[in-house]
Structure 1
Amino acid sequence: MRTRILGKMLNTEVQEYLNRNDIIIVPVGTTEMHGGFPLDCETVISEAYCLRMAEACDGLVLTGLPYFYAGATASGRGTVQVTVRQGIDYLGAIARSLLRLGFKRQVYMSFHGPAHMTICPMIRDFYDETGVPALYMDCMIQFDKNKDLLTDFLNDFHSITVGAYKVMNRLEDVPLVTGYQHTTPQSCAPFQDLFSLGYQSAAVGYCFGENGDHMSTPDIPDVATRDALAERGESLIDAMVERMDMPHVVEQMRKLEEYGHENEKKYPWMPSAWNNR
């Protein structure tokens, strides 16, 4: 294919694709302060993973979704903050539009900690309304499942960030910077006992007190350093995506929809069955 990114395709190319397949992978991002990295870095990480995932399972990618609930980084002057509810409604409208077009297997991916608050409610409401099981793959969970690939979590996280820009042909957008490494604890560290009582950023409301709270960034003094980070990061992205086994994932989604339709016949009071009478 000339490209797998939906917005770069011709309408006729999308039609040709939908004649043989129905997979769309949607990276859900943010625009938020992130140390010495560009504000859209967590969007770009998600996009890079989704592109590699689409290549592995013959899917398309819907990019261009960088404005969702950021969370504690709202204290940053460059952070664009959208409420959780607004994000749920907007993403749900996109999911319904994609379904009308013929994309029955929809996979949503994010590298952003609080993204589950937006994506998970949409996934469940979408199923009850349509009977179609969309899937959320949390990239942070994929990190946890593949710890053996990582020699040092924080350094490899930074490498993946730079590598993602390389995958998306945007490596030069990563600036050469120094002075963004931080050795002091986060200003909100005294409240860690509260933060740990719930899942990631969903336990309690707060914002970072210092710009340096999110995110410490390694020195990237020259192009050679940036290139080395990018090479390491791209290799980690490729290794993780290979382990995801996307052909198996999308085949399971097809079988799960069939399973759901059988249940709808047995239990017509299920929301998906009731809503589609």
Structure 2
Amino acid sequence: MRTRILPKMLNSEVEEYLQHNDIIIVPVGTVEMHGGFPLDSETVISEAYALRMAEACDGLVLTGLPYFYAGATASGRGTVQVSVRQGIDYLSAIAHSLLRQGFKRQIYISFHGPAHMTCSPMVRDFFDETGVPILYMDLSQQLGKLAKDLFTSMDCFHAITVGAYQIMGRLEDIPLTTAYAEPMQQSCAPFNDLFGLAYQSAAIGYCFAKQSDHMPTTAIPDAAARQRLADAGQSILEKAVADMDMPHVVEQMRKLEDYNNEVEKTHPWMPSAYNKKEN
């Protein structure tokens, strides 16, 4: 296959793919202040994961979705903030379009912590509307589960970021800098007791006071240091994807659809069953 990234494909190539498979992975990103890394860091991490995941399960990747709810980084002048509600509606429209095109097994992924507030409601509403189970995978959670032996410190997170840029052919977009490498306490740390009362950024509204709040990043003084980080991070990322067992995930999605269809036969009042009947 010439490429697995859908926007880079010819329409005829997509049609050929859909003759034998129906998997698309959709990385949901952000453009937000990110210490000494580019604003689209968490978009690129998600896209790099998506590409390796698609390669593992014969899927395609829909890139180009960087503008969603950023959260506490809205105080950054470079951050593009979209409301949770707007993000849900936009992503839902994309999901419906992909289903009409023939992509029945849709997997939404993100390395951005607050992305669950956009993605999880969308996938549940989509099932009620269509009867088709689509999936959201929280990559930060998956990394914690699957790569504990590799993810030993925040330096590993920084390495993954640089490795993702390398996978996407953008390594030189990572600047050489030491300006953001000093470890420091977040200005909002006195309120961590409130922030911990719900999942990640979903507890209460706040914004960071300083660019270094999100986040101090490792020193990258020269190109050799950047390359070492990239190689180490790519290895961690690819190990995590291998441990995900994507062929199993997509096969389970197919089996779950069969299970749901059986449930609907005996529970015709379910929203998904009702909407199928109406359509």
One fold, TM greater than 0.5?
Answer: yes
Partner in structure 1 of residue 256 of structure 2 = 256
Partner in structure 2 of residue 153 of structure 1 = 153
Displacement after TM superposition at 1:227 (Å): 0.3
Q: What letter corresponds to residue 149 of structure 2 in structure 1?
A: L
Secondary structure of the 1:238 match is: helix
Contact 2:147/2:240 (<8 A) preserved: no
Map of 1:94-105 to 2, 5 A cutoff? 94-105=94-105
Give aligned-pair identity as a percent: 71
Mapped to 2, the partners of 1:15 and 1:153 lie a distance apart of 44
Mapped to 2, the partners of 1:176 and 1:130 lie a distance apart of 48
Displacement after TM superposition at 1:164 (Å): 0.1
1:185 aligns with 2:185: yes
Listed as ranges, the gaps of 5+ residues in structure 2 are none
1:23 aligns with 2:15: no
* Deviation per residue, 1:233-253 (Å, 9 max, x gap): 000111000000000000000
Partner in structure 2 of residue 195 of structure 1 = 195
Flag as ranges the 4+ runs of structure 1 deviating above 2 A.
146-153
Displacement after TM superposition at 1:143 (Å): 1.7
Partner in structure 1 of residue 54 of structure 2 = 54
Mapped to 2, the partners of 1:164 and 1:157 lie a distance apart of 11
Partner in structure 1 of residue 228 of structure 2 = 228
Secondary structure of the 2:36 match is: coil
Mapped to 1, the partners of 2:90 and 2:73 lie a distance apart of 21
* Deviation per residue, 1:48-91 (Å, 9 max, x gap): 00000000000000000000000000000000000000000000
Mapped to 2, the partners of 1:138 and 1:216 lie a distance apart of 23
Mapped to 2, the partners of 1:28 and 1:263 lie a distance apart of 31
Query: CA 1:259–1:151 in 2, change beyond 3 Å: closer, same or farther?
Result: closer
Mapped to 2, the partners of 1:237 and 1:144 lie a distance apart of 12
Q: TM-score, normalised by structure 2?
A: 0.98
Listed as ranges, the gaps of 5+ residues in structure 1 are none
Contact 2:44/2:168 (<8 A) preserved: yes
Give the count of matched residue pairs.
Answer: 277
Mapped to 2, the partners of 1:261 and 1:135 lie a distance apart of 17
Partner in structure 2 of residue 84 of structure 1 = 84
Map of 1:122-141 to 2, 5 A cutoff? 122-141=122-141
